[in-house]
A and B are shown apart, each in its own frame.
Chain A
Amino acid sequence: MASVTVKHLWKEYGDQVVLENLNLHVADREFVTIIGASGCGKTTFLRMLLGVEQPTKGQLLIDGQPVPAEPGPDRGIVFQRYSLFPHLSVLDNLMLGLEFSGSRWLGKLFGAKRREALEKAESLLEAIGLHTARDKYPSQLSGGMQQRLSIAQSVIREPKILLLDEPFGALDPGITADMHEIILRLWQANRMTIFMITHDLKESFQLGTRLLVFDKRRHDPHAPERYGATVTYDIPLNRKKHTAPTPALTAELVR
């Protein structure tokens, strides 16, 4: 279970208002895609859910409880880059979450516990098509392989919420179809609520069950920092029916 409730949320950095008066309820197992202009506060919103950034005003609740002020295993994250551990092989990167939970002091598993963790990691490796690269280091992987691994790594601890910040932004458009299939499969298998930022409108329609558009309602040309962004469109999507952005909406959104 992981529903997210946002009540009158404001986020300011000094004089700059980044987010203003955000109100939202996201149900359990929803796949929320987020789009919006660069610098409008999408990452900031994700970072607040992650617990590394605190709201200035208002409430951000997960299952009715305020978000803890620290990242934790109930909320997984995939960044655009840099979220793999370069000193660990592919397999060890994947095992790390299990080793953290299974061994408080050494962070390493042995014997039966290790075999159990290995089994889980190997089946996940298989699922993301990386079993042949299990002994490579992250720097020896392509960008797409790195992101697949990063997603699997986040999912292995079975978080309630998975946060994705432009996970495919740096990838070749040709391989995103595979990535979409993987993320949807993991979402269905792991019963997570997903928040995914993307700058690809088509992708946001294809993947999500709900699309949020962040934008500024008001604009002061002399002081752009006066007003913050909020959710200007909240569009329910039905993947079965292949909702696609109508030309009119597309024009409105990419304005």
Chain B
Amino acid sequence: MPRLVNLYPSRGSALALGALPFLILIAAYLFGSAARLAENPDDKLLPAPSAFVDTLKSYAVEEDRRSGEVLWWLDTGASMKRLLVALAISAFIGIAGGLAIGALPVMRSLFGPFVAALAMIPPLAILPILFIALGLGEVAKIALIVFGVAPCIVRDVSLRAGELPKEQLIKAQTLGASSWLLATRVILPQLWPRLIDALRLTLGSAWLFLIAAEAIASTEGLGYRIFLVRRYMAMDVILPYVIWITLLAYTMDWLLRLARARFFPWAETR
């Protein structure tokens, strides 16, 4: 019998093990739902599976009677647009700021403490400022996400730049690299994988800020919908939306991981 730390499950059993917690959760839900509904058929907390099917049909397939839109896709489109634009802006700030701060000591002195302080401000605390200054439209929501995510990415990417062995940077200079070539040919290419890691890690907070902004001021979006139907305790809407959000977030994370392995194979740890 090998030690537990050396016991690796086969591919099949790893899959089965991974699915187990999900299956247990689903079973627990079905059991709880059935028990509660048997006691009180009008119970709203744990709707029966059939209720989800009805909701999905009326939200994701049929048009809304009032607006003439299919709400599910309207909300998804609006939220994804905000999130992706905000993440793209954050990634750009992250790589540019991280490279500048990580590569140039002058920039580190100039912006290092500032970015560190910026990253400490709780973004939700400045949400009112954003709404007052930028209005209730899309800009404020995107700004909140960028504000919450970009400083962390800048810090993470610049830390990575600082971790590059001094030997490498000296070597590049003995090969005749100028500051510019050092930044673009040696440092920057080694920061891309870390940018992807940083994006993956901040994905959770990006969603948090998106939903918070949508809950407070919006007319469509996944977060808006959840908080809207909360008033009617419509668990049959909230739960599918939550699962959908989770699925979207998971897919984004998976795509980022795939892109890292595909485009930066040298950075994969073996």
Contacts and interface: CB of A to CB of B under 8 A. Distances in A.
A73 to B, nearest CB: 4
Given A82-B168, A86-B190, A87-B267, A96 B174 contact: no
B180 interface: yes
A104 B167 contact: no
A86 to B, nearest CB: 6
A70 B173 contact: yes
A74 B106 CA distance: 27
Contacts of B181: 100, 104, 107
A79 B170 CA distance: 10
B73 interface: no
Interface SS majority for chain B = helix
A81 interface: yes
B103 to A, nearest CB: 14
A107 B174 contact: no
Contacts of B189: 87
B185 A96 contact: yes
Interface string B164-187: 010110111111111011001110
Interface string A145-176: 00000100110010100000000000000000
| Size bracket of the B interface | 20 to 34
Given A82-B165, A85-B168, A76 B266 contact: no
A21 interface: no
A44 interface: no
A101 B177 CA distance: 8
**A interface SS class:** loop
A52 interface: yes
Nearest to B186: A85
B184 A107 contact: yes
Contacts of A130: none
Interface in B157-212: 165, 167-168, 170-178, 180-181, 184-186, 189-190
A137 B186 CA distance: 15
Contacts of A81: 167
B168 A71 contact: no
A105 interface: yes
A157 B171 CA distance: 12
A236 interface: no
A83 interface: yes
22 contacts: A50-B170, A50-B174, A71-B173, A72-B176, A75-B174, A77-B171, A77-B174, A79-B167, A82-B165, A82-B167, A85-B172, A85-B186, A85-B190, A86-B190, A87-B264, A100-B172, A100-B175, A100-B177, A100-B181, A100-B185, A107-B177, A107-B181
Interface of B: 165, 167-168, 170-178, 180-181, 184-186, 189-190, 264-267, 270
Interface of A: 50, 52, 70-73, 75-77, 79, 81-87, 96-97, 99-101, 104-105, 107, 137, 139, 150, 153-154, 157, 159
Pick the 3 closest A-B CB pairs, nearest first. Answer: A97-B175, A73-B176, A82-B165
